[in-house]
Amino acid sequence: MTKHGNPPGIPLPAGWSQHARSATLHVISLAQFALAYTRGWAVNSRVARVRLKAENDRLRQQVAWLTEEIRIKDARMKRTAPQRRPHYVPAERMSILELRAARAWSLQQTADAFLVTPATIAYWMKRLDDEGPDVLVQIREPVNKFPHFVRYTVQRLKALCPGLGKVKIAQILCRAGLHLGATTVGRILKEAPPPKPREASRKAGRVVTAKDPNHVWHIDLTAVPIRGGFWTPRLPFALPQCWPFCWWLAVVVDHFSRRAIGFAVFPKRPSSLAVRTFVGKTAARIHATPKYLICDKDSIFWCTAFKRWCKRKAIRPRYGAIGKHGSIAVVERLIRTIKDEATRRIVVPQRQAAFRRELTSYLAWYNEHRPHATLHGKTPNEVYFRLRPANQRPRIEPRERWPRPSPCARPGTLIAGQPGDRFEIEVGFHDGRRHLPIVSVRRAA
C-alpha cells in the first residue's frame, strides 16, 4: 500500500494496447482451461455434494453460453429491416405457439423472443384452425407420410391397369421394391372399404393338406364363350355349348403353390378318356405325379374308368360335395381369374391354336409375375421352385425422414440405399398384351 492508500500499479509492456484483443482471447482460454481442470477434479470427488456442485456449475456455464449465442444472433436480426427478415414456415409458427403456451408468454413476450410484432402472433392465433394444404399454421409433416410422387405412381398404375385392386397393386409394388400397405393404396385410390370376408364353412370328412409341390392337384372344366355369350336366337344352335359358340377348357392347378400346371382346349365337352389323356400328358411333361387329385363329381370324373386309371397311376381321387359352392375352391378361383383377367378382356379367337396361344401367354404371366394373396404376395413359380420372393428383397424408401429401424408394410424388409430416394416406375406388358402388366421400379438417376 502507498501512503495515499492506493494499490500499487502493474507495469504494462510497451505497446500493450496493440495486443489487448489477442490478450483477452488468451486470458479467456486460460480461464477455461483452469475451470475444466478444477471441474474435472470435482466430478471425480468422493463427496456427492462436490460432484453435484460441479455439474450445477457446468450447466450454468452452458446456459450462459447459449444465452450469449442467442443475443448475438438476435442483435444481427434486429439490424435487418422487418420487411426483409425471413418468414417463419408454417411448422415453425406452430412450434412458436406451442412454446408460448408452455411458457405462458404474453403476445409481447412471444414477439420479443422471436423478433416479430404482437399483431403477427395474434394473427397466427386467429388462423390456427384453418384447413387446407396452404394454411398459415401447420403441424410438422409426419415421418410416415409418403411424398406426392408415390400417390401419382399408384394412381397411374390404376389408370394403366384398371383391373388391379388395391391388394394386387400393393403386392405388385412390393415385389418391385416399394412397400405400401393395402389400406394405404385404398386410401390413395379413394376406394370404398373392402367387403367383409365370408366365414369359412366347415368341411366334412377328411381334409387333404398339401405339404409340397405336386402333392395335391386340382382339376376342373369350364366353358369359355367365343363371342361373349352362348345365346343364339334360334334352334338348334341355342341348345349345345360347343364350338363355334364356346371352347371347353380343362385346367390343372397345384394346391401347394397355386401354380397352373397345364391346360387343354376342347371344341366340345370332353370325354373321360380325353381328360385322362390330358392329365397323363401333363404329369409326363413335368415328370411328377400327384398323390391326390381333387375334382367334382361330374360324370367325367365320377366313373369306373377314371377311378381305375387313378389306381393304376397311384393317384387317390378326392371329390367335392355335390352342389356345394367352394368344395373345389382352388381350381374354381383360378378359372374365375382366367375369365376376369384374360378371356373377358380379349376377343376369344375362333381358331383353337390362337386361343391356346392366348392362354399360354396368360398362364405364363400368372405363374411368373402375378402375386397371389394366399401366398402373401409371392408368385406361384417362386413357391413351386422355392425361389427367393421378390417382395423380400431390400426395398426403396421414398420418405426421407423415415427411421431405418421402423417397420414398413408387410413383409418387412431392409432399406436399400438411403431413405428419401426417388424412383421411376416402368410398366411393361407380357408378350405385348395390355392386360398382362409387368411393373418394375428403379431409382431415379
Looking at the DSSP assignment, which residues form a beta bridge with residue 440?
Answer: 426
DSSP symbol at 396: B
Strand, coil or helix: 40: helix
Which tens digit of pLDDT belongs to each residue from 411-424?
888 888 888 888 88
pLDDT per position as a tens digit, 305-342: 999 999 999 999 999 866 555 568 899 999 999 999 99
CA dist., res. 384 & res. 255, Å (int): 10
Tell me what pLDDT residue 200 has.
Answer: 44
Which of 3-7, 88-92, 309-313, 343-347 is modeled with the greatest confidence? 309-313
Distance, CA of 390 to CA of 369 (rounded, Å): 10
Percent of the chain with pLDDT over 70: 87
Residue 235 pLDDT level (bands cut at 50, 70, 90): low
Q: What is the DSSP string of 151-201?
A: HHHHHHHHHH-TT--HHHHHHHHHHHTB---HHHHHHHHTPPPPPPPPPPP
Segment 41-60, tens digit of pLDDT: 887 788 888 889 888 888 89
Candidates 296, 384, 288; CA nearest to 335 is 296
Superfamily of domain 216-377: Ribonuclease H-like superfamily/Ribonuclease H (3.30.420.10)
Quick check: pTM over 0.85?
Answer: no
Mark out the alpha helices in 177-292 (DSSP H runs). 182-189, 272-286
With a CB cutoff of 8 Å and minimum separation 6, the contacts of 356 are: 265
Mean pLDDT of the chain: 84
Most confident residue range from 116-120, 184-188, 197-201, 303-307: 303-307
Cell of 141: 409433416
**Which of 392, 371, 411 is closest to 167 using CA atoms?**
371
Cα–Cα distance between 284 and 280 in angstroms, integer?
Answer: 6
Burial of 8 (0-12, 13-18, 19+ CB in 10 A): exposed
Task: Give the helix ranges, DSSP H, for 339-427.
Answer: 352-368, 380-384
Instruction: Beginning with the edge strand found earlier in the chain, give each strand of the sheet holding 292-295 in spatial order.
Output: 260-266, 246-254, 216-225, 292-295, 316-319
For residue 59, count CB atoms less than 10 angstroms from its CB and return exposed for 0-12, middle for 13-18, buried for 19 or more: exposed
How far apart, in whole angstroms, are the C-alpha atoms of residue 232 and residue 225? Answer: 12
Q: Which residue has the cell 484483443?
A: 21
End-to-end CA distance of the chain: 80
Q: Which residues contact 264 (CB under 8 A, 6 or more apart)?
A: 249, 250, 270, 274, 275, 278
The C-alpha cell that represents 283 in the structure block: 404329369
**Is residue 193 over pLDDT 60?**
no
Summarised one tens digit per residue, pLDDT across range 294-309 is 999 999 999 999 999 9
Could you give the maximum distance between any two Cα atoms of the chain, in Å?
A: 143
Instruction: Return the domain boundaries, the chain.
Output: 76-140, 148-192+382-443, 216-377
Q: Residue 319 — φ and ψ, nearest 5°?
A: -115, 140
